[in-house]
Amino acid sequence: MSEAQRINPDWECTPAEIHERIQANEDLLLIDCRTDAERELVRIEDSLHIPQDALSANLESLFRREDVSEMIVYCHHGVRSLAVVAALREAGFESVRSMAGGIHQWALEVDTALPTYS
């Protein structure tokens, strides 16, 4: 199955799409749901760090974010971020998607200067 076939456009978007939207100055909020240790290895600049296990404690502050058109959640490979997207949608957020392939795919396709890790 190709990446285009795998991605549900309601729940996921590609790193390339996100990069284009950032370049177009869209009001996106990138949320890094990885652990502190993972974030120390590599991160996307200007992203907000909310580890997956701290999501419920941060819901109220996310609801107050009126300055964003959409939230994009990322993790290492895109699995945890899909779980976070599901939780956010269940909490009432509509404009939230996961970055398919996570920061690993971002480092391969968008910012090749970033390191990858296993």
* Residue pLDDT, tens place only, 58-105: 999 999 998 999 999 999 999 999 999 999 999 999 999 999 999 999
Determine the CATH number of domain 3-109. 3.40.250.10
Burial zone of 57 (CB within 10 Å; 0-12 exposed, 13-18 middle, 19+ buried): exposed
Helix (H) or strand (E) holding 61: helix 55-63
1 pLDDT more than 50: no
pTM of the model: 0.92
pLDDT band at residue 17 using 50, 70 and 90 as cut-offs: very high
For residue 81, what pLDDT is reported? 97
5 pLDDT more than 50: no
